[in-house]
Structure 1
């Protein structure tokens, strides 16, 4: 049995988990079934891939059968070991992320669908949301508001080693979605969404069947505008800003995004 620990965070405090975590149990065969149903890439036998990617590091399956041992030329080296494909890793996350959220909410058959865009990147999923369930998971009191959307976009990012926070690329995808909503006049959807970070962490816990999903809720504050968030993201992705030490970058990122998001 695979155990996935689900924790919930507000965008402005990405290291402070809200309430207690929830454990979602899933089998390898179920990962295969959900992969066939819900993922964006056609990859067969996802449960087998899960076993190989998480529990078989260094196994013979990763060795390339080179027919002779040629010599290196400068920076060009002999390629002797296969790499783990991000497409497969991403599919593993996409297979379980909505079912784990559904389980955490304590509901059955959570309505959700995939999303796809042309020429721009958009979030992976959109799901119908009962705001009372959102309040229970994230410790908010949003259900009392009258202008909330009835669905939320969700972008999922999966990685094979320990990480913290959420990727700015994922936030950019939420921003693209909000921009399209703004253009189409769906104004109550702007500024609301979720980023899920799935941590398979095979480096720290090789062979472990316990993994982690962190769900980050984005809810706009009264002073939020798309243009303000665009400016913040532009600064955060600037080459000069990235030269600062990691602790300073994270502190400023949390502070600036916290100006406009709960």
Structure 2
């Protein structure tokens, strides 16, 4: 019997995979929710002398994909900035900021990869207000600190509650994303794997695939620095002129035998 499906219910997006024009996977997303594809059209109208519509001629379509990523994701951030995510390695380390708050009375602290010339230290009171500033010296004393390699000798000042250390260090494991004013997102191919059920066989969860062959992530985003932050993953469906069939915006696949185990 030929498998044919009409009505179905989408449960959720399981995963999204972004690829470049060569089919290489750029990144995967597993926390997309509230996703919507919107299609709008352009048209011309023919009306009579009284303004009555005789015929509407549709001339083109355009679309958008809108979703929220349930957690802050470096891939989503990078996609919206137009700059790739950089991953630190042993052969390609990345310089990053470092901040530490330590109690008074602490004599020294070691920060791996510390850049000695970058170290700045201030003293704060119990309310968190800055009440002292210290200088770099040959040896730690009441008004100064000392740095030797990755080790910081802290001031001996007893009139503060905590010391705050600010500097930079070079790390061999970590990641970095930059949002630059002169960089914008490029074009990718986006494939969504969704869980769905057939109305006539609702006990079987099947895989439904939505493919957007030419998609450009929007650089218009907001990043709330709080616990329940969600990232917007929005963009435009572009016409895939060189895709088979031509002028494809998106397509949906529903294989019979692709079932969730």
**TM-score, normalization by structure 2:** 0.24
Scaled by the length of structure 1, the TM-score of the pair is 0.24
